[in-house]
């Protein structure tokens, strides 16, 4: 059973999705849940089926005290690197939260301090605390929705299925069709980068 909060009821959980992808944004969400929030399905988004994530998204949006989602796109990822882009996405999401923020709990082991708000990094936090799990679900579903949209523009990469991750199929498509404006040029897009014209 996931815990309600780590230190304070007014703490935000934050998490990101899409760090290891070759295409598309890195997406982060931040969520503050009310003290009485309960949900028996909620878990780390990676442990949930797509159907369960999609069922949870409107529940989290409706029942959370406040939530926000933010994307950082490939051009900026290439400029500042994926780690900094992940921090930036989380900061952008936290920026949009309403109400008084006392504390931030972050999934993982690294974070860049947000203003003067204290924070704590929690490894596998998305499987320990409800607010981080909720953030992981929102980050994943919003990013998947975005990848489904850009799939319509470039169906040959099958982003609807692989969501931009480095699958064999995705890399074969890059080899065959080259790259798009949605690809991260700073990433190793093919095992032999020399074969790709950037």
50 belongs to a structural domain: yes
CATH number at residue 19: 3.30.420.10
Our count of domains for the chain comes to 1
Residues spanned by the domain of 19: 11-193
At 197 the pLDDT is 52
- Residue 130 CA to residue 125 CA, distance in Å, equals 9
Q: Hey, is 16 helix, strand or coil?
A: strand
The answer to whether 24 touches 163, Cβ cutoff 8 Å, is: yes
What pTM was computed for the model? Answer: 0.94
The answer to whether 198 touches 185, Cβ cutoff 8 Å, is: yes
173 belongs to a structural domain: yes
Mean pLDDT by 10 residues, the chain (198 residues): 85 98 98 95 94 98 98 98 98 96 96 97 96 98 98 98 97 96 94 56
At 156 the pLDDT is 98
3 belongs to a structural domain: no
């Amino acid at each position: 059973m996931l815990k309600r909060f780590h230190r304070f009821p007014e703490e935000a959980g934050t998490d990101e999705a899409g760090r290891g992808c070759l295409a598309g944004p890195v997406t982060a969400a931040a969520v503050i849940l009310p003290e009485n929030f309960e949900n028996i399905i909620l878990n780390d988004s990676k442990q949930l089926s797509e159907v369960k994530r999609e069922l949870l998204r409107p529940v989290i949006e409706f029942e959370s005290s406040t939530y926000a989602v933010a994307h950082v796109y490939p051009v900026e990822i290439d400029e500042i690197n994926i780690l900094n882009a992940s921090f930036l996405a989380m900061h952008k999401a936290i920026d949009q939260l309403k109400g008084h923020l006392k504390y931030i709990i972050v999934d993982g082991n690294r974070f860049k301090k947000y203003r003067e708000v204290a924070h704590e990094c929690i490894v596998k936090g998305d499987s320990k605390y409800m607010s981080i799990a909720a953030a992981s679900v929102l980050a994943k579903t919003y990013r998947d929705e975005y990848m489904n949209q850009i799939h319509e523009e470039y169906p040959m990469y099958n982003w609807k299925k692989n969501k931009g991750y480095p699958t064999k199929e995705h890399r074969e498509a890059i080899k065959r069709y080259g790259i798009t404006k949605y690809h991260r040029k700073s990433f190793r897009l093919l095992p032999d980068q020399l074969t790709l014209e950037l």
